[in-house]
Structure 1
Amino acid sequence: MAAASLRTINKFGRMVYDKPASKLTALVQSFRSLGRTYGTDRLGFAARLSLPVLMRCGSFWGFAFLGGGFGFGLYHTVKLTLQFHLAEEEEKAPDLGKDLRLTLYQYKTCPFCSKVRVFLDYHGIPYEIVEVNPVMRQEIKWSTYRKVPILMVDGTVQLNDSSVIISALMTYLISKEKTIPQILACYPEMKAKNESGKEVTEFCNKYWVMVNDAESGRLYQEKDSRKEEIQWRKWADDWLVHLISPNVYRTPHEALASFDYIVREGKFGRFEGFFAKYVGAAAMWIISKRLRDRYNLQKDVRQDLYKAVNDWVAAIGRKRKFMGGDSPNLADLAVFGVLRVMEGLQAFNDMMENTKVKNWYRRMENHKQ
């Protein structure tokens, strides 16, 4: 929603503005989970360290008796052994995703930026946000790539394009032996010219998670699930995202409400905010008509939005909670990220009221990794 509108008001603004793998057993994982605060781990110590498990760990029995009592000795032997191994694991293998220092340069109302935030939040990966001024874009003046989102890793490695960012980070979470620069080499930049003759930057393989056969089998357990995920991630970028602007700027009233939200959530100076709200809203209401023609949308663009989200729900089907099954996959996260930027606007309310997307959307809001 924000990307097209901000490029438009940018021209106005410049005219008036002065310029190794763990070997711990299931026993270790059970003990480690005792300290979690989530509601899923409610079994007590005795229930987790059941007798059949302990009987397979013969060395613990000898230490336990030497400790001066079966129960007391067993408890402390297990505790000290696990503390040693866990300390060793933390030193050798940091918690993946949390060992990275990530900084996301974004416009808050941009659907592509929203996709990245949804992915990071879902996987519990911490990150810092730098909100970019959409007129002057001083926050990314150091970058030759002038779009958002941009994700900086440890202050040195730059990831561009929302789908590349998501695919690369997902690869990193799964393929523990690969570094981010190694993974990034799988998504080379490619310069091309669009239909208007303008040079654009595209990225090869950007919808692919780069994993080996064994990892792929664990990640994509159902037949054709990988192909389906790629298909619908691409659909979100190539079609769904282009329905946002024509719908949120459909009428002068909706355009003004949309820019009120953009100004409120974005990084604008006082004059820029006033200018963007009124001039930008008028400009985008006019441009939304051109977008409608460019993408061959119906005169009532709501109908195209309704059809798109109903197609998405139909693709999930009645037997699955998400396209990923019991848990969201990357296609679920991408579609949710795009639709979420309309929250609070009339287009979003109409979509929820007139389509079948509500149940899936609410499940996405409530689902935790």
Structure 2
Amino acid sequence: MAAACARTLCKVGWNILESPAARRSGTVSYLVGNVGAHGSRRAYGTGGTGVRSKLLSSLRGGGGRVLGCAFLLGGGVGLYQTVKYSVQQHLAEEESKVSGGDLKLTLYQYKTCPFCSKVRAFLDYHGLPYEIVEVNPVMRQEIKWSTYRKVPILMVDSDVQLNDSSVIISSLKTYLICNDKSVTDILRCYPELKSVNSSGKEVTEYSNKYWLMLSEAEAAVVYPEKGMQKEERKWREWADDWLVHLISPNVYRTPSEAMAAFDYIVREGKFGTYEGFFAKYVGAAAMYLISKRLKSRHKLQDDVRQDLYKAVNEWVAAIGKKRKFMGGDQPNLADLAVYGVLRVMEGLQSFDDMMANSKVKNWYRRVERASLNHEGRKTHSFPASDQVPSLFSPKLHHA
């Protein structure tokens, strides 16, 4: 509409300039002075007759050319602003598309869950806006609509449900790179598998969950050096299969640490008054005992801190001295996964001890800054011909 108005102003101005009265007028500079002298004091009045008479007299006296110029100038400025706004809007839409901002994301979580923290680290780093629904860990009413009863759950545009932290991260990362494919299309590459474990309990797992579904051309851009994709996948698995199992034994190492941990959990989580009291005291005692069983199951040392220090130092050694992150100059998915797992200990004694007695501090702070500053907002974009091929295409490259 703004553009139409601007074009109308230009047309009116041109018609006035082409009128006989305007062609008989004198110089523009003289007419500007003439209009200023005769019409400046009453041109902005509310009297309709006065305004019309002044306009007509200006037109008869040679003011037509000035009036035409004014219409042309106004129309030109209007067109310029319209085009400028359209360009800015187009660029904003492209930026939103590239950054994934066109998705409406809702994360169902426990704040202190390491798997939920992994997902938040990924979303924050890539600058993806999302809403959080904190789930009550006792009643879990917030996810009663879901047959999948664990967190995190990420809802995309209110109709696509993503389960499992690694599937969420892999599928969204693939979407950011190949954004001509819908999340639903990409999710088909991560089929759900159900099985019964040794305890007779049904468990759900997902195929390919550490893989990005990229074409060869896309993989070459995302992973420019040989071995980068394999390294990323290896350490993402390590974060889930080993590092995360060190958290509970360290957080609940002693009765006082267990109490402090549950005080934090109750404060940050979603509990009712009685639920919070029960969780803080009974939960702390229970988790202290459970942490001893976990220490035995995972064959940890008597001083579980030593296993934590060893693990994070192993991680830092894998990055090496020549790289800021495992991803090079920017964090990759392994960096974000390890950071997300470790972050849940912040504010607790185990975290302070880890920062003081291991080599992880500098790397951790770098990832923290990158996440807070949304440094991964820009991502790769490829021509449509190089996008994710069919699931059964020979060009499909598991990253």
Residue 219 in 1 paired to residue 215 in 2?
A: no
Corresponding position: 1:355 with 2:343: no
Deviates more, 1:191-200 or 1:123-132: 191-200
In the alignment, which residue of structure 2 is the partner of 1:39?
Answer: none
Percent identical across equivalent pairs? 72
Q: What is the rounded CA distance, in whole Å, between the counterparts of 2:80 and 2:329 in structure 1? A: 34
Query: 2:200 corresponds to which residue?
Result: 197
Structure 1 277/222 Cα, relative in aligned 2: closer, same or farther at 3 Å? Answer: same
Is 2:138 the partner of 1:140? no
Measure the CA separation in 1 of the matches of 2:96 and 2:113.
Answer: 32
Report if aligned partners of 2:97, 2:179 keep a CA contact under 8 Å in 1: no
Q: 1:323 aligns with which of 322, 326, 332?
A: 326
Q: CA deviation at 1:241?
A: 0.3
Give the structure 2 partner of residue 298 of structure 1: 301
Structure 2 distance, partners of 1:91, 1:288, is 49
User: 1:57-93 deviations in whole A, cap 9, x for unaligned?
Assistant: xxxxxxxxxxxxxxxxxxx999987765554566688
Change (3 A) 1:283 1:86: same
Q: C-alpha root-mean-square deviation of aligned residues, in Å?
A: 1.9
- Within 1, Cα distance between the matches of 2:274 and 2:83? 63
1:99 — aligned with what?
Answer: 102
SS at match of 1:95: helix
The letter for the 2-side match of 1:217 is A
TM-score by length of 2: 0.71
SS at match of 2:214: coil
Larger Rg: 2
Q: What is the deviation of 1:127?
A: 0.3
1:27 paired residue number: none
Conserved? CA contact 2:110–2:137, under 8 Å: yes
Query: Which residue type is aligned with residue 236 of structure 2?
Result: R
Answer yes or no: is 1:131 the counterpart of 2:130.
Answer: no
- The AA in structure 1 aligned to 2:362 is N
CA spacing shift, 1:139–1:77, aligned 2, 3 Å: closer
The 5 A counterparts of 1:254-269 are 254-269=257-272
User: Could you tell me which amino acid in structure 1 is paired with residue 258 of structure 2?
Assistant: A
Q: 2:136 & 2:331 partners in 1: Cα distance? A: 32
- Residue 396 of structure 2 corresponds to which residue in structure 1? none
Q: Structure 2 stretches of 5 or more lacking a match? A: 1-77, 376-399
Q: How does 1:71-90 map to 2 (within 5 A)?
A: 84=86, 87-88=89-90
Structure 1 runs not aligned, ≥5 long: 1-75
Q: Corresponding residue for 1:43? A: none
Runs of 4+ in 1 over 2 A off after TM superposition: 76-96, 193-197
Whole-angstrom distance in 2 between the partners of 1:137 and 1:326: 40
Give CA-to-partner distance per residue, 1:101-142, whole Å, 9 cap, x none: 110000000000000000000000000000000000000000
What amino acid maps onto 2:333 in structure 1? L
Q: 1:319 to 1:138 in 2, by over 3 A?
A: same
Distance 2:190 2:232 in 1: 18
Q: Please list the CA deviations of residues 26-80 of structure 1 after superposition, one character each: whole Å capped at 9, or x if unmatched.
A: xxxxxxxxxxxxxxxxxxxxxxxxxxxxxxxxxxxxxxxxxxxxxxxxxx99998
1:171 aligns with 2:166: no
